[in-house]
Chains A and B, each alone.
Chain A
Amino acid sequence: MRALALRWGTALGGFNSHLVVGLTLALVTLPQAVAFSVTLAGVPPHFGIYAAIWGVLFCALLNPSPVFHGGPNTAMSAAVGVTLLPLSAPFGAEYMGLALTLGLLCGLIQLLFWLIRPLGRMLDLISEPVINGMICGIGLFLIFRSLTTFGGLPLNTEVEWPLWIAWQSFLAVLEIGNPYAIEIGLITLATCIVVQQVERLKSWAILAGIAAGTLYSEYLNRKYGLGSTLVEQIGNLSSIRPFTASVPTFSQEAMHDIVAIVPGAVTLALLGLFQTVAALRRMSRKAGGYADTRAAIFSDAVTNCALPFLSSLPSCASFNRMWLVHKLGIHSRVTIAMSAVLLLLLVLFFARAIAVIPMPAMAAIIMLLGCNMLKWEDIKPHVTNKREAVVFFGAFLSVLFLDLFGAVLVGAVLAIAYSKWEQAHPNVSLTGNVLKIRGNIYYGSLPVIERIYHDALARGERLVIDFSQAYYIDPEGLRWLAAAKNTGHAALIDRRSGIDRRAVAAAAAAAERRSGWDRRTDGRPATPSERRARRDRRRKPQL
């Protein structure tokens, strides 16, 4: 009986944890959903809220990873705005129809990445320094991006946010920010920081912060009136239903516009997938697990194909919310699905209570998430290695000076360059007359190897090439080894097993066969004596 009670108690405790984390996630996602749709994408708030409900739910069902949290995303929302702004007026019926079409095209393009396996594999060319650099960049991005809302100021930028504008926003908050908004934001932050220090209350920290900020805001509104405090609140969401069916625009007269948004759809698809793959790999590793990125591509693609029929913005992984899931310490798809259901219930039944939550408190929470993403423990390993540091800071600065998509591209190029550079510089040592090659022998590394080889030859010694620790030898490497052997200046050895030597000998013979030395002019295989004679002829210089 006691054991049963204990089991029930544990289960209930677990459920409570799921509930708290789910509620925290729901409350953090809600303002982001509203802000992204209205200020970035140029669509009504329900687009973002449906993405935060249905996008998260679909991803939780389709994606096997326990750390994945989909939903509305900053960069994707901004990309929707950038693509559609030249074509139509925001918030209009035509604009919303095109936004849905854009989302559907994005989903279909993502589906191609799942269907064509090598295409999806390309997304894996993002290394850990790139991902960490991006995370740190996005952390700063979130802090700066929330500054104006924190200070109760109107959003300063429509779609772009270079670092210098963020700095202007900081100065503006100091000089002309709404003092009431600043106080609410600071109280929210201070409450979060203090509650976070108590281990048992850690997962309640954000909720406590929002509660403190809201209570103080209500106190100010009672004392001075909303007309005097001018503190922005989330506002009335009572018109939102569980779902609103919609159909993307695909009419004859809209064809011109649809063709025009195809490049935007490609960008949107790549933006989403890059972030999904990068965030999933990073957070899975952080949680000590492994996630199949192909499953994530599939879940993103199917979700984004379905969401346009539910009046929703496209969805992809959210670095900051996944970070929050990790920080709260519950890695479970149940929690994530629960957050979506809780958000729906909150919007349906507590719309009036949610309406009074002040936006500065929400901005403070987003800033806190940004701070949590800037961890020295994650940065330190990349700073110790010079080349990795270049990749890390390249990705980090690209987020700050370009945008997320630019950062992903720069990061991928740097990561590939870094790995190629490493491969192209094998460890070649000359001990006595033994030339030992540790690393790759391929077209990129041959110039390095050949330089040392010829330096050694110049001393007039007969060399022994030891490639027992070569990881990989490409056909050009094989031809070089064969040529080195054939010149008679060097011998090939493999001290460890001899297996490699035989393999190389066979490969060298194969390479020579391909070059045609063992074929007679009529195309039939040469006899052993003919081969021997021909090999001798090749070795002796023709006078």
Chain B
Amino acid sequence: MSNLRNKPSSSNWFKWFDPRRRDVGTFAFILNRLTALGLTLYLFLHLIVLSQLSKGPEAYDAFLKLIANPIYMLGELLVIVAVLIHGLNGIRVGLTSFGIGVSTQKQFFYALMVVAIICSLFFAARMVIG
């Protein structure tokens, strides 16, 4: 009698996030999921921020003062990084999904991540220097 514990199951979802000894594709897959979760969380936070507008100018100004804190600026930078990684990797997934660049998908991923890093550094510098 076979043991069913090794069978596919939705309860194995955490294995999606295990990159040990896997190839580049898994890292791209994990990055896309983590950034998607992060951006979804950000969307809700963004809506909460916008809801401050309805409480009058004082409440909104107080909130703007709060987010001038470097920790919040770091959070904003993380959002930019997540958008770059998710968007650029999404282009790769979209193109390879229809046969474009399949044989060079690893190099494609590396190149796009280099672009993401360069753009992230640019935005980080802009935030610091102003």
Indicate whether A and B interact: no
Residue numbers of A with Cβ under 8 A of B are none
